[in-house]
Chains A and B, each alone.
Chain A
Amino acid sequence: MMPTPMQNQQQAKPILEVHGLIVRFTLRDGALIAVRNVSFDLFPGESLGVVGESGCGKSVTFLSVMRLIPTPPGKIDAVKMRFSGMDLLDASKRQMRRIRGNRISMVFQDPMSSLNPVLTIGRQMREGIQLHLGLSGRSLDDRCIELLDKVGISAPEMRLKSYPHQLSGGIRQRVMIAMALSCNPSILLADEPTTALDVTIQDQILRLIRDLTRDLGTASVLITHNLGAVAGTTDRIMVMYAGRIVEKAPTPLLFKDPRHPYTQGLLRSIPRVDQPAGRRLYSISGAPPDLLRETIQGCAFAPRCPLAEEQCVAQAPSLEPFAPEHLVSCWKAADAHQHG
């Protein structure tokens, strides 16, 4: 059996190290701390899933890694944020431009709005390749065609001359993936790549990302609010809530033995076909805290947590190892054993 990236961890050096990342936004009506002390490592070739509901800071975390957060109003702080040995916090604008698209690339949520509507697919694809690989003329076109072929687009030659509106959502997202992989990046960040797509297409796109990154040895980060999307396609999962990581575990372990009540809630709220008809779907009551208004003293999830006690409200838990490779940020991690 092939060693999983998890088993490789001991030997391999992480390609992306983030330690103590804090992202603040200074807004008219106060300061918002969108990411609160987030730490994680990404290993070469690994596939990491990042799960959490809207506004929990998952996108901001990775936009910060790319330094694509507008500053001001944003402010990025971290103890350490390194990409293959290079400090991303101190990198100059020029160094960052060299990394973006070349070493770390992104796929965005809505392929309709992330492609420029007035430029042909070809022009947009060529841009990054020209910029980073310096190809031109025939070899540039060949590269584009090869990439489109790789992401499973038929008649790639013709597609280069198409405008985004002439393509379906799935094809557009394939184009985005081709563009993201065009310079053989070390990391592919996919920010909810399937949210805007048809359910039948979602699976295809997720498989495509998995297969291509596996073939190219690219590490990938799959940001999503849908646990189902990361189940079959990632090695590790990181669950975020209100700007923090609440649970981090290898994918099989997270599904088998979720320890944080929030993760359990997420898992239980996936609708199941084998459920008796007419049974109400499970949902986590309440809403995530307003990061702008509420000062969070204890555990941010406490107000919605079925297991919350006095300690949970008074003091915030830290992310502690519960089992090897399984980190949980919950006072009740040991008790939280109730499968949905």
Chain B
Amino acid sequence: MKKQPHKRTRDTIAALKPHYLPASADAGGAAPHRYHWLIDLFIQLVKTKPLGAFGGALVLTLVLMALAAPLIATHDPNEMHGMQTLVPPGSDFFFGTDALARDLFSRIVHGARVSLTVGLGAVGLSIFLATVIGVLSGYFGGVLDTILQRCVDAIMSFPWLIIMLTVMSILGPGTGNVILALALAGFAGSSRVIRSAVLAIKHSEYVLAARSIGCRQPAILIRHILPNVAAPILVLATLGLGNAILAEAALSFLGYGVPPPAPSWGRMLSGDGLDHMLRGPWLVIFPGLAISAAVFGFNMLGDALRDLLDPRLTGGARANK
């Protein structure tokens, strides 16, 4: 131990680096980053998680499709092309037409907007509710926990479809209402997961250590507890996105979803698709593929991101190896 520590300048530290550490130890974020960490993350994703990268590509396609829908679509999604009903896929209509002579390809492209809006909206709202309830309930415990958890019990005791249908019948159709219904049906279970993660963390020594340096409760919640439950939240969110897209399809299938004529993938399956499935199988194949691809993409990406963003797991983009 040096009694009088001499202060090294940054330059000498940089010069000393190669002697101290093998190159691999540098990757802990200490090495000069040549790229922004998001780009690093992307490189890691492609290198170590090919399936996740594939999922990411699907998600990216979906997002681009939604953003540039009018450019990609070959026709107006709601335009009826005279007598050309149930035309099989071909050069005019890539995915064929439906019973109302609308171009299926354009409808699916525009449907990405509906699915993403509903999915992101519902997941955002439900994860927000779940995080607030889960963290408060888990961290403060006691009476607050009991009250919140009994409410969650009550909500969870209903099948989610019943809750969604009830909310939709009360509020009436509309994209915003679909989002609300999906969020209300989904947040309870997620809040349980987050609560249990918080319970495990709140008794950890580093929370005690944070208190021992004089941190306030809100600071502990936000700086110490939240980052540690970020991984389950991320997984819940990505799984939730897939589920929300599916649930929206289910709602539309039952006639409660996004109101027509908006091109919803679920409604394409249920309305026309169901009626004319045998004469025009493309009516169910393409919307079904779109839903599957979206759900699969989000799930794969979420799984890979969870692994990469958790510094404790090896293989992390920002972790050692």
Q: Please give the residue numbers on chain A whose beta carbons come within 8 Å of chain B beta carbons, in ascending order.
A: 66, 68, 96-102, 105-106, 108-110, 113-120, 127-128, 131-132, 142, 145-146, 149-150, 152, 154-163, 165-166, 176, 179, 207-208, 211-212, 215
> How does the 8 Å CB contact mask read for B6-22 relative to A, with 1 for contact and 0 for none?
01101001101100110
Does residue B260 face the partner (Cβ distance < 8 Å to A)? Answer: no
Chain A CB within 10 A, most for which of B5, B223, B224:
B5
Number of A-B contacts (CB under 8 A): 128
**A–B pairs, 14, beta carbons within 8 Å:** A68-B211, A108-B209, A114-B206, A118-B228, A119-B223, A127-B213, A127-B223, A128-B214, A149-B7, A152-B1, A155-B16, A155-B20, A162-B28, A165-B312
Does residue B172 face the partner (Cβ distance < 8 Å to A)? Answer: no
A114 to chain B, nearest CB (A): 4
User: Is there contact, CB below 8 Å, between B212 and A100?
Assistant: yes
Given known A101-B214, A115-B206, contact A215–B7 (CB-CB < 8 A): no
Indicate which residue in A97, A110, A158 contacts B21 across the interface (CB closer than 8 Å).
A158
**Which B189-226 residues have a C-beta within 8 angstroms of A?**
204-206, 208-216, 219, 223-224
Given known A114-B205, A114-B206, A119-B223, contact A146–B5 (CB-CB < 8 A): yes
User: Is there contact, CB below 8 Å, between B228 and A166?
Assistant: no
Chain B residues near A166: list those with CB within 8 A. Answer: 25, 28, 319-320
Docked complex Cα distance between A276 and B272 (Å): 92
Given known A155-B16, A155-B21, A162-B29, contact A149–B8 (CB-CB < 8 A): yes
User: Is there contact, CB below 8 Å, between B214 and A113?
Assistant: no
Chain B residues near A106: list those with CB within 8 A. Answer: 209, 212
Docked complex Cα distance between A100 and B14 (Å): 35
User: Is there contact, CB below 8 Å, between A162 and B30?
Assistant: yes
Docked complex Cα distance between A14 and B211 (Å): 25
User: Is there contact, CB below 8 Å, between B204 and A102?
Assistant: no
Identify the closest chain A residue to B14 (Cβ).
Answer: A157
User: Is there contact, CB below 8 Å, between A100 and B214?
Assistant: yes
Docked complex Cα distance between A109 and B20 (Å): 28
User: Is there contact, CB below 8 Å, between A105 and B212?
Assistant: yes
Given known A119-B223, A152-B1, A166-B320, contact A105–B28 (CB-CB < 8 A): no
Does residue B50 face the partner (Cβ distance < 8 Å to A)? Answer: no
User: Is there contact, CB below 8 Å, between A163 and B205?
Assistant: no
A243 to chain B, nearest CB (A): 21
Given known A118-B311, A119-B227, contact A97–B210 (CB-CB < 8 A): no
Identify the closest chain A residue to B230 (Cβ).
Answer: A118
Indicate which residue in B2, B29, B212 contacts A66 across the interface (CB closer than 8 Å).
B212
B30 to chain A, nearest CB (A): 4
Chain A residues near B310: list those with CB within 8 A. Answer: 118
Does residue B36 face the partner (Cβ distance < 8 Å to A)? Answer: no
Docked complex Cα distance between A155 and B21 (Å): 9
User: Is there contact, CB below 8 Å, between B3 and A113?
Assistant: no
Chain B residues near A157: list those with CB within 8 A. Answer: 10, 13-14, 30
User: Is there contact, CB below 8 Å, between A131 and B214?
Assistant: yes
User: Is there contact, CB below 8 Å, between A108 and B205?
Assistant: yes
User: Is there contact, CB below 8 Å, between B7 and A146?
Assistant: yes
User: Is there contact, CB below 8 Å, between A158 and B13?
Assistant: yes
Chain A residues near B10: list those with CB within 8 A. Answer: 157
Given known A113-B206, A149-B7, A157-B10, contact A120–B212 (CB-CB < 8 A): no
Indicate which residue in B13, B204, B209, B311 contacts A156 across the interface (CB closer than 8 Å).
B13
Other A-B contacts than A117-B312, A118-B228, A127-B219, 6 sampled, CB-CB below 8 A, are A105-B212, A108-B209, A108-B212, A131-B215, A146-B7, A208-B1
A271 to chain B, nearest CB (A): 28
Chain A residues near B20: list those with CB within 8 A. Answer: 154-155
B145 to chain A, nearest CB (A): 14
Given known A114-B206, A155-B20, A208-B1, contact A105–B320 (CB-CB < 8 A): no
A118 to chain B, nearest CB (A): 5
Indicate which residue in A114, A132, A149 contacts B209 across the interface (CB closer than 8 Å).
A114
Docked complex Cα distance between A165 and B26 (Å): 14
Docked complex Cα distance between A247 and B58 (Å): 71
